[in-house]
């Protein structure tokens, strides 16, 4: 159940929830978002972004970004290749958290990542438990989808507006026919797009 039980454990401290979108795709950035919930203004319907239809995510995104403090961090494909996807995801989370105008006392992050900053606490499946993390998951997902839609207008062959850069058969076919773009994660190609077709559609 998504609620404020985890946040309530920290009393009156300022809590930022953080989550990412795009760790697994072959193309595009990884995007993280951080959100500080206004506990006096709870928006109905917030949930793990994966459990919400696209139209509802868009509506909730508008409400969250209007009523709460929030920010995003974006790491592009070339930097993902340089520092690896785990470090890129952590960096995106830290950029998002540090960009919020109010400093959080505690940061709760979806997953099991470890951070040097003692404010950070990772929570497995946190996007299905914490309202703050769930809100961040919506902001991250909508932001990334919009980026991929925009990139798709420049590279329509890859159908990123449909697959968001994930390893679908359609995406693989486009790579074989047209090659890789600057937005493809070169470090992912050997174990994904070009040599391991068994990973197609598995969001490797």
* Stretch(es) of the chain classified as CATH 3.30.420.10: 5-152
Domain made up of 5-152: CATH architecture = 2-Layer Sandwich (3.30)
pLDDT at residue 187, rounded to an integer = 87
pLDDT at residue 203, rounded to an integer = 37
From residue 132, how far is each of 69, 100, 143, 179, 200 by CA, in Å?
Answer: 11, 14, 17, 40, 32
User: What pLDDT, in 10s, does the model give residues 100-156?
Assistant: 999 999 999 999 999 999 999 999 999 999 999 999 999 999 999 999 999 999 999
Write out the H or E segment, with its range, that includes residue 151: helix 131-154
**Confidence (pTM):** 0.92
From residue 95, how far is each of 92, 137, 142 by CA, in Å?
Answer: 5, 15, 18
Q: To the nearest whole number, what is the mean pLDDT of the chain?
A: 92
- Using a pLDDT cut of 70, give the percent of the chain over it: 92
User: What pLDDT, in 10s, does the model give residues 56-109?
Assistant: 999 999 999 999 999 999 999 999 999 999 999 999 999 999 999 999 999 999
Q: Is the pLDDT of residue 2 over 80?
A: yes
**Averaged over 197-202, what is the pLDDT?**
37
pLDDT at residue 189, rounded to an integer = 58
Q: Is the pLDDT of residue 196 over 60?
A: no
């Amino acid at each position: 159940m998504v609620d404020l039980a985890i946040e309530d454990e920290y009393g009156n401290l300022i809590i930022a929830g953080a989550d990412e979108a795009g760790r697994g795709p072959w193309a595009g950035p990884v995007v993280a978002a951080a959100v500080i919930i206004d506990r006096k203004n709870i928006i109905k319907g917030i949930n793990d972004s994966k459990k919400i239809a696209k139209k509802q995510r868009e509506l909730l995104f508008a409400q969250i970004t209007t009523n709460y403090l929030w920010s995003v961090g974006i790491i592009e494909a070339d930097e993902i290749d340089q520092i690896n996807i785990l470090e890129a995801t952590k960096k995106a989370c830290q950029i998002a958290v540090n960009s919020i105008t109010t400093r959080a006392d505690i940061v709760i992050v979806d997953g099991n990542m470890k951070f040097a900053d003692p404010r950070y606490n990772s929570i497995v499946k946190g996007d299905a438990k914490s309202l703050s993390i769930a809100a961040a998951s919506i902001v991250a997902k909508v932001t990334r989808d919009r980026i991929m839609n925009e990139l798709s207008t420049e590279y329509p062959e890859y159908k990123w507006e449909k697959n968001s850069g994930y390893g679908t058969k359609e995406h693989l076919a486009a790579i074989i026919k047209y090659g890789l773009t600057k937005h493809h994660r070169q470090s992912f190609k050997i174990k994904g797009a070009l040599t391991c077709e068994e990973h197609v559609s598995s969001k490797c």
